[in-house]
Chains A and B, each alone.
Chain A
Amino acid sequence: MAASFKPIRSLLQTGTNSGSRWFSYIGLGIGVLLLLCSIQMFINIQQLVGGESKRKEGYDFISISKTITNETMGQLEKNLFNETDIKEIAAQPFIQGVSPLVANRFRVQLSAGDIIPFSTDMFLESLDNNFIDTVPPNFSWQEGQDYIPIVFSSDFLEIYNVFAPGYGLPQLSEATASQVVVYITCYGPNGVQQTFRGSIVALSDRVNSIIVPKNFLDWANNKFGNTTSVRASRLYIKTNDANNPDFLNYLQQKNYKVNKDKTKFGRVKQVLQGIFSGLGIFGLLVVILALMLFSFYLQLMIARSKDNLQLLLLMGYSPNWLSKNVSKQFVPVYILVVLVALALTGGMQWAFHHFAMFDRPELSSMLHWTVLATALFLIGLSLFTNYRMVRKLLYRLV
C-alpha cells in the first residue's frame, strides 16, 4: 500500500497524556542503563578475578578437610573422608582429580642418627604422585627395600630452622637437608618394630606433609596398623580454578574446610557477582515495568483515538498496515533511548577502566560485545512488544 501515514498521525491523540509517555521513556532508559552496566561490571569482575590467570600447570591444587566442630569431635568417622565422599567429590564437574592424603595408622618415630641428636614421634602420609609438585625419579619403594625416599614440606623445614637454634640443633639448608639420613622406626602391635633409612629427596611447596611412596605406606599400614580401608583426614583436589563460585559453593555446602587464602579472590568475586547479578535483575525488572507502562500508554492512546482508528479501518485501511505504522512511530525514540543508555554505559566503562582500575591490561575501555548484543536485543524486544500490543488493540477495533 502506497498510502502515507503522515495525515493519519494527527488522528492519533497523543497530546494530552505525554507525561506517562515520557515517564516510560525515562524508565526504559534507566532500566536499560542498569542492565547494561551490570552486565559490563559482571564481565569486568570475571576478567579481573580468576578466569584469566591460568596456573602454571593449568590447575590449582588445594587440600580440603572436614570441619571439626564440637559436635563431631572424637567421632572419627564423621571427621574423615570415606570412599563414598571421595567418589562424590571426584564426580563434580569443576574438580579434575582428587587424591586422599593417607596417614600412618601406627606409631612412627624418627631420629636423625648420630649427626644430629634429634628424635621425635612423627607422622607419614602418602599421596598420588600426580598431586605432588616435585617428584624425583628415585621417589619409589619396593617391598624388602629398607631405604625410604621422602618428599618433605618446605614449610616444615622452615619451621625446623626456626626452632632448631633454641634446642641446640644445627640449622639446615635445603641442600644439606637432603643429605641427612634419618631413621624411621615403625612400631606394630605386640612389640613388632622395624627401622628404615630415609632421606629427603625433594622439598614440596604444595604439600604440607611428610610424604612417602604410596605403596610403602599401604604396605606398612597393613603390616603395623590394623586397617586397610581408605579413610583420609585430608583430600587433595585438582581443579581448573579454585576461585570458581560453583566449587566454593560446593565446599561451603558440604562444610569442608579449605585454605581461605587460596580461594579469597573467589569469595570476593562471588559477592561482587552476586551484587551485580542483583542489580542486573533489578534493571531487567525496571525494563519490564517501563515496557508495561508504555503499553498502558499505548492502550490509552488507542482508546482515545478509537473512533478515528475505527473510521480508518472502515474506510479500508488495512489493520496490519495501521499497526505497523502506528508502532513505527515509536521506533526512533526506542532506539534513541537504548543508544543513550549504551553511550552512558560506555562512558561508565571507560571511566571505571581509566580512573578506578588505572588502565589495567586485563580490562578494556570498550564495551564487551555481550553488552552491545543485549542493547540490540532490548531494542528488538521493545519494538516487538510494542508492535504486538498495537496490533492486538487494533484488531480488537475491527
Chain B
Amino acid sequence: MQLQLQQLLPVYFDESQRSASEVWRKDLSFSKGEYIKIVAPSGSGKSSLMHFLYGLRNEYNGNIVYNNRPLRQYTAEDFASYRKDHVSIVFQDLRLFPEQTVFENIELKRQLNPFHPAEKIREMAERLGIGNKLASKSRICSYGEQQRVAIIRALMQPFDFLLLDEPFSHLDDKNSQNAMGLMLEEAKLRNAAIIFADLERIDYFPYTRLFHL
C-alpha cells in the first residue's frame, strides 16, 4: 500500500512557490507504518494537499497515485470505497453534522464500515474527555470538543493512511497529547501511516520523516 505524489502542484500556485517546498513538484512515496510530519506555514497549501490526497479536489498538476492507480481515474464509487476502507481524515474545518448528536456523528461513520463495535465510541469519548457530550448536538459543543469528535470519528473505520489537517488547533497541550496518543494506538492497530500537517513542529508526534511544504 503506497501513496505516491508525482510532481504534484496546485494549478493555482505559481512556480516561485514550489522552489522552497519539499513536497510540491517532488516525487514522494509514503508507505504504511510511516509517520509523516508536514510543517506548513499559512498559505503554503496545506489544506489543498490534504484535500487532494483525500480526493476532494483535483485542481492540481502531476499525479497522486494510490496502489499504482492515479486518483484521477477514480469514479465517484471508487472514491467512496477509498474513503470508506483506505484513507481517513480529520479536517481542519471538522465537517460535522450540526443537528446530530455527538454520538450520531460518530456512529454515521462507524456503521459505514465498522472497525470497532459501537461501545468503543463511548470509551474513546471518555478518554478524550467528551464522554458527557455524547447526547448533545454537535453545534452546541465548543470548537475544541468538536475537534475531538472529528478525531474519534476518523478512528472508527479501517484505514491505511490517516490524514490530519491541523487537528489540535483548538486543543490545549494536555488534550492534544491525549488525542495524539489515541491516534498513534489506532494507527498501530492497523499498521497505518499518519500524514500530519500543521503550522509548526509538534514534539509529541514521533515522526519518521519531516517535510517543509
Q: Taking beta carbons and an 8 Å cutoff, which residues of A are in contact with B?
A: 1-4, 7-8, 10-11, 308, 311-321, 395, 398
Residues of B within 8 A of A314 (CB): 56, 83, 95
The yes or no answer to B113 lying at the interface (CB within 8 A) is: yes
- B84 adjacent to A316 (CB under 8 Å): yes
- Whether B6 sits at the interface, judged by CB under 8 Å, is no
Contacts known (A308-B97, A311-B95); A316 close to B76, Cβ less than 8 A: no
Top-4 shortest CB links A-B: A316-B83, A316-B84, A318-B80, A398-B76
Q: A11-B97, A11-B100 in contact; A316/B113 too (CB < 8 A)?
A: yes
Contact, CB under 8 Å: A395 / B76: yes
Cβ contacts under 8 Å, A8 to chain B: 108
* Interchain CB contact under 8 A, A7 and B83: no
Check if B81 is an interface residue, CB within 8 A of chain A. Answer: yes
Residues of chain B lying within 8 A (CB to CB) of residue A395: 76
Interface size on B, residues (CB 8 A): 22
Interface residues of B in 27-79 (CB under 8 A from A): 56, 76-77, 79
Q: A318-B80, A319-B76 are in contact. Are A10 and B108 (CB under 8 A)?
A: no
Instruction: Check B111–A7 contact: CB distance below 8 A.
Output: yes
**Identity of the chain B residue whose Cβ is nearest the Cβ of A315 in the assembled complex:** B109
A316 touching B112, Cβ below 8 Å: yes
Question: Could you tell me if B111 and A3 are in contact, using CB atoms closer than 8 angstroms?
Answer: yes
Alpha-carbon distance between A314 and B54 when the two chains are bound, in angstroms = 9
Q: What CA separation (Å) do A316 and B56 show in the bound complex?
A: 11
**How long is the Cα–Cα vector from A312 to B84 in the complex, in angstroms?**
11
Closest chain A residue to B96, Cβ basis = A311
Are A319's CB and B77's CB within 8 A? yes
B146 within 8 A of A: no
B147 proximal to A (CB < 8 A): no
Q: Are B81 and A316 in contact (CB under 8 A)?
A: yes
- B104 (CB) vs chain A CBs: closest residue: A7
Complex Cα distance, B109 from A10, in Å, reads: 15
CB neighbours (8 Å) of B56 from chain A are 314
Find out whether the CB atom of A317 lies under 8 angstroms from the CB atom of B112: yes
Beyond A10-B100, A317-B80, whether A312 also contacts B108 by CB under 8 A is yes
Q: Which residues of B contact A10 (CB under 8 A)?
A: 99-100
Nearest CB on A from B24, distance (A): 24
- Counting chain B CB atoms within 10 Å of each CB, which of A316, A318, A319, A320 scores highest? A316
Chain A CB within 8 A of B4 CB:
no
A2 to B157, CA, bound (A): 14
Chain A residues near B99: list those with CB within 8 A. Answer: 10
Instruction: Give the docked Cα–Cα distance between A315 and B108 (Å).
Output: 9
Residue of B with least CB distance to A11: B97
B108 — nearest CB in chain A belongs to which residue? A7
CB < 8 Å: which of A3, A308, A311, A320 contacts B112?
A: A3
Q: How far is the CA of A8 from the CA of B112 in the complex (A)?
A: 11
Produce 1/0 per residue, B146-164, CB < 8 A to A.
0000000000010000000
Knowing that A7-B111, A313-B76, A315-B112 touch, tell me 4 more A-B residue pairs with CB under 8 angstroms: A1-B113, A7-B108, A316-B79, A316-B82
Asked if A7 contacts B81 (CB within 8 A), the reply is no
Q: When chains A and B are docked, how far (Å) is the Cα of A30 from the Cα of B109?
A: 42
Tell me if B107 counts as interface (CB < 8 A to partner A): yes
B residues near A316, Cβ cutoff 8 Å: 79-85, 109, 112-113, 157
Contact with A along B124-163 (1 / 0, CB 8 A): 0000000000000000000000000000000001000000
Are the C-beta atoms of B112 and A1 separated by less than 8 Å? yes
In the bound assembly, the distance between CA atoms of A314 and B153 in angstroms comes to 13
Q: Closest residue to B85 on the A side, CB-wise?
A: A316
Contacts of B82 in A (CB 8 A): 316
Q: How far is the CA of A320 from the CA of B83 in the complex (A)?
A: 15
Given A1-B112, A3-B111, A313 contacting B100 (CB threshold 8 A)? no
- Are A319 and B111 within 8 A (Cβ)? no
Contacts of B85 in A (CB 8 A): 316
Find the residue from A1, A10, A314 having the highest chain B CB count within 10 A.
A314
Contact of B77 among A2, A4, A320 (CB under 8 A): A320
**Given A11-B100, A311-B97; A318-B108 close (CB under 8 Å):** no
Q: Is the CB of A313 within 8 A of B108?
A: no
With both chains docked as a complex, state the minimum distance between the C-beta of A4 and any C-beta of chain B, in angstroms: 6
> In whole angstroms, how far apart are the Cα atoms of A1 and B97 in the complex?
22
| Nearest chain A CB to B26 CB, angstrom units | 27
